[in-house]
Amino acid sequence: MSQRERKVNANPKDVLTGVYYIDGDVAAGYGALAAGCKFVAGYPITPSTEAFEAVCHRGPQVGAVFIQMEDELGSISAIMGAAWAGTKTMTITSGPGYSLMQETIGYGAMLEIPFVLLNIQRGGPSTGVPTKTGQADMMQSRWGAHGDYELIAIAPDSPQEMFDYTLKAFNLAEKYRCPVMIMSDECVGHMTEKVVIPEADKIEIEARRMYTGPASDYLPFKPDPDLVPKMAKAGQGLNLYITGLVHDERGFPVKDAEYRSAYVRRLVDKIRLNKDKIIELREEGIEEAEVIVVSYGISSRVAVKGVEIARQKGIRVGTLRLVTVWPFPDERIAELAKRAKAFVVPEINYGQVVFDVARCAHGKANVVLVPHGGAGVHNPADVADAIEFAARQETPIQGVYEFKTRLEKSVFEGGFKLKE
Amino acid sequence: MNSIIKALDKGIAQSGIDRKIISIPSDIPFQPAAVKTLGIDYFQTPRGRAIAFGSGLKLGNPGLKIMAVVGDLMTLGGNHFVHGARRNMELLVLCINNFAYKKIAGMPVRSAGTAFSAYSTFEEPFNFPHLGNSCGAVYTARWTALHIDELAGSIAEALNKRGLSMIEVLAPGPNYYKSIESIDPDILQFYFDNSIVKNNEDPRNVAITSEEKIVVGKFTDKDSKNTRGQIHAARSATDAFRRERWLR
């Protein structure tokens, strides 16, 4: 089946067309159901609980199954099973649950199971701050499971985008047969805004790439020219043999280094070689900019105000928003590093995506991190100050420069005392 | 392993179920290529997650028949088993116990030690049929690799049960058993000498110990606790409760 034929319109029953005033979690739940998701397994965890509630309430009305499993390990394993039963699947989690799921995310990548994982990030590490925000799972989403694999991670910044990009996540998962992470955060998850859900015939859905030929010819891991194999489902009479060991096209385990290289290479390449089609960036005022603010998720919305303040001071600032954080836009950042003086990266952690920016800038532009420990968002004035600092800095800075925010100063220099 | 494949083949044939709709999600220890000859769909899952994976398969397509084959089940996937039985998920759990990891039923011969506890062990093993029975499994049985016909019969019966059924199979790990002096290298002879068939025995009395003979047989066989009628009754009771609460 060609690429064009696999595109179908959403089922009108699944889509709650209308204008709503809902939070990001609920919007993501509605987005999943609109995409045709028919199986959700999860274990409730703050701050993603509203997404469960949405799916739990609305799911059975459109024929979707929702099950509260015994734990996150069970949830992610159940969605792997349901994917092989032929349904579109999703699980929803946050912080500690996400850590528990990592082993099976690797299994999903290995067996090329299309699934979506909605991670509403919270403050960490460990139990952290369950009710407040964080962006400190970004590197875990990239390197969480053992072994080499590539996946797609999306960081929406508004309830509307939670709907739109949950839909898109399902389409990407089906198209590339890989795990897709929606790396949202508590602020976006709990932010209540206007969400417009379009009519079903305006929503394009990627149907699963199913094998339709004779059973005797089926090779479960024989890739199409775009490196993605066709999928089958249990009960089709195809006599599947599926294993998480490195396997050949038939699915049988193989140990040779040659096979391993060929197989794992393909897992990686099917994303890397299609990077240009997957990556989505939002650029603004970037052509003339001396300083470029690189941000994602909620930090990109806070940065807007910071950029505004800096522009009033006459600094030429551009913004680059990473809508898809992984795969990372290496070439674009490298290209901008040749023109711009510095990158300013506000993120709610002590440096994760900023190191990839520095890697791609390759010493050609300074890289300034505006850190935040979590449980809150940046003060826009800090972002503005960091931009000003970066614009005034004439000498190259080695590595990543960590900007001292007002919060950090008050804690470490301003006589901040713990409550007695 | 061969005797288990043979028993599976016979059991599936006896059950009268179309092989096409049978799926075997399996734990790490059970991944013989020979399973392909059974004409079923086979999935090797992450360690210990066969039952959770099977639950997903079953809910994703309720028309499938799922047979989760697990090894060291009660450590890595114990919670999935307990909750699968509690929620009456329609699965057959086939637990292959070769004493190797000693958590399910344990190496009963204390003085010998095992490959993973060179100086023997003082931990008590699980009584697996009893655990299954108390969690709500509708069918529990235990057989050894010697009892192929009985095992096949149990598989056929259990595949047609509505609810979670479990069968424990004591099966040899030949290479590994060579290292244990007190087990006869001819393991089938060992099973023959040391097992006793007691059908319908109370599962509380079937723990594997070093003093007594291994009790095998079918221990539990009851009807599914959640019949359609009961679910319907529960639902209307909830509705009535809600109506009352909201009308007040």
User: What is the residue extent of each domain of chain A?
Assistant: 7-206, 281-412
Inter-residue contact A7 to A26 (CB < 8 Å): no
pLDDT recorded at residue B111: 38
- Chain B hits for A75, CB-CB cut-off 8 Å, are 52
pLDDT recorded at residue A223: 93
pLDDT recorded at residue A344: 97
**Residue for token pair 């390759």:** A362
Inter-residue contact A188 to A24 (CB < 8 Å): yes
Q: What are the pLDDT digits (tens) for A179-221?
A: 999 999 999 999 999 999 999 999 999 999 999 989 889 999 9
Q: Which residue, among A333, A10, A322, A375, has the nearest Cα to A185 in the 3D structure?
A: A375
- CA B244 to chain CA mean position, Å: 44
Give the per-residue SS3 of B22-60: EEEEECCCCCCHHHHHHCCEEEECCCCCHHHHHHHHHHH
DSSP code at position A217: G
Q: Is A175 exposed, middle or buried (0-12, 13-18, 19+ CB in 10 A)?
A: buried
pLDDT recorded at residue A318: 97
Q: Residue A15 is which amino acid?
A: V
Q: Using 50, 70 and 90 to split pLDDT, how confident is the model at B173?
A: low
The span from the CA of A105 to the CA of A14, in Å, is: 27
The span from the CA of B3 to the CA of B169, in Å, is: 11
Which residues, at least 6 apart from B164, have a Cβ–Cβ distance to it below 8 Å? B84, B85, B88, B89, B90, B91, B92, B93, B132, B136, B137, B138
Q: Residue B236 is which amino acid?
A: S
Which pair of tokens denotes residue A177?
A: 């047969």
- Chain A hits for B57, CB-CB cut-off 8 Å, are 81-82, 84-85, 234
- Type and span of the H or E element at B177: helix B174-177
Kindly state whether A373 is in contact with chain B, defined as any CB-CB distance less than 8 angstroms: no
pLDDT recorded at residue B207: 85
Domain A7-206 = CATH 3.40.50.970: yes
Kindly state whether A243 is in contact with chain B, defined as any CB-CB distance less than 8 angstroms: yes
Which pair of tokens denotes residue A21?
A: 């005033």
Q: In what order do the strands lie in the sheet with A366-370?
A: A281-284, A317-322, A291-295, A342-346, A366-370, A400-402
Q: Show me where the domains of chain B are located.
A: 2-247
In residues, how long is chain A? 420
Inter-residue contact A120 to A51 (CB < 8 Å): yes
- Scanning every residue of chain A, which has its alpha carbon at the shortest distance from the alpha carbon of B54? A81
- Chain A hits for B52, CB-CB cut-off 8 Å, are 69-70, 73-75, 77-78, 81
The span from the CA of B113 to the CA of B136, in Å, is: 33
Express as a percent the part of chain B with pLDDT over 70. 71
Neighbours of A184 (CB within 10 A): 33
Pick from A67, A70, A242: CB nearest B80: A70
Q: Are strands A342-346 and A291-295 parallel, antiparallel or unpaired?
A: parallel
The span from the CA of B180 to the CA of B185, in Å, is: 9
Pick from A73, A78, A239: CB nearest B39: A239
Neighbours of B211 (CB within 10 A): 5
Kindly state whether A102 is in contact with chain B, defined as any CB-CB distance less than 8 angstroms: no
Over 60: is that where the pLDDT of B175 sits?
Answer: no
Pick from B31, B64, B83: CB nearest A85: B64
Q: Are strands A115-123 and B41-44 parallel, antiparallel or unpaired?
A: unpaired
Neighbours of B232 (CB within 10 A): 10
In this chain, the answer to whether the domains covering A7-206 and A281-412 adopt an identical fold is yes
A231-253 burial by CB neighbour count: b if 16+ within 10 A, else e?
A: bbbbbbbbbbbbbbebbeeebee
**Residue for token pair 């590539």:** A150
Inter-residue contact A77 to A52 (CB < 8 Å): no
pLDDT recorded at residue A48: 95
Over 60: is that where the pLDDT of B100 sits?
Answer: no
Over 90: is that where the pLDDT of B150 sits?
Answer: yes
Inter-residue contact B32 to B174 (CB < 8 Å): no
Cα distances (Å, whole numbers) of residue B62 to A107, A296, B40, B91, B163: 24, 41, 16, 11, 13
pLDDT recorded at residue B190: 77
pLDDT recorded at residue A260: 86
ipTM greater than 0.90: yes
Which pair of tokens denotes residue A138?
A: 């970004």
Query: 3-class SS at B208?
Result: coil
Over 60: is that where the pLDDT of B106 sits?
Answer: no
Pick from B39, B56, B63: CB nearest A77: B56
The span from the CA of B196 to the CA of B219, in Å, is: 13
Inter-residue contact B57 to B23 (CB < 8 Å): yes
Q: Using 50, 70 and 90 to split pLDDT, how confident is the model at B73?
A: low
Pick from B21, B44, B56: CB nearest A41: B56
In sequence order, what are the beta bridge partners of B220? B140
The span from the CA of A159 to the CA of A22, in Å, is: 7
Query: 3-class SS at A135?
Result: coil
Which residues, at least 6 apart from A76, have a Cβ–Cβ distance to it below 8 Å? A41, A91, A101, A104, A105, A108, A117
Kindly state whether A244 is in contact with chain B, defined as any CB-CB distance less than 8 angstroms: yes
Query: 3-class SS at A350?
Result: coil
Q: What are the pLDDT digits (tens) for B202-225?
A: 999 988 877 788 899 999 998 876
Q: Which residue, among B66, B97, B102, has the nearest Cα to B84 in the 3D structure?
A: B66
Query: 3-class SS at A366?
Result: strand
What value, to the nearest 5°, has the Cα angle with vertex A49 and ends B90 and B91?
A: 5
Phi-psi category of residue B107: left, alpha or beta, with phi > 0 → left and psi -120 to 50 → alpha: beta
Q: Which residue, among A175, A210, A218, A272, has the nearest Cα to A84 in the 3D structure?
A: A210
Q: What are the pLDDT digits (tens) for A367-395?
A: 999 999 989 999 999 999 999 999 999 99
What are B's interface residues with A at a Cβ cutoff of 8 A? 20-21, 23, 25, 31, 33, 35-36, 39-47, 49, 52-61, 63-64, 79-80, 82-83
The span from the CA of B216 to the CA of B206, in Å, is: 8
pLDDT recorded at residue B113: 43
Domain B2-247 = CATH 3.40.50.1010: no
A78 CA: distance to closest CA in chain B (Å): 4
- Scanning every residue of chain A, which has its alpha carbon at the shortest distance from the alpha carbon of B43? A242
A109 CA: distance to closest CA in chain B (Å): 12
CATH topology for A281-412? Answer: Rossmann fold (3.40.50)
The span from the CA of A188 to the CA of A163, in Å, is: 11
A126-140 burial by CB neighbour count: b if 16+ within 10 A, else e?
A: eebbeebbbbbbbeb
8 Å CB contact of A107 and B46: yes
Inter-residue contact A110 to A268 (CB < 8 Å): no
8 Å CB contact of B53 and A235: no
pLDDT recorded at residue B105: 42
| pLDDT < 70: residue spans in chain A | 1-5, 415-416, 418-420
- Chain B hits for A79, CB-CB cut-off 8 Å, are 56
Which pair of tokens denotes residue A279?
A: 């990556």
Over 50: is that where the pLDDT of B108 sits?
Answer: no
Query: 3-class SS at A103?
Result: helix
Q: Which residue, among B1, B3, B48, B42, has the nearest Cα to B19 in the 3D structure?
A: B42
Query: 3-class SS at B2?
Result: helix
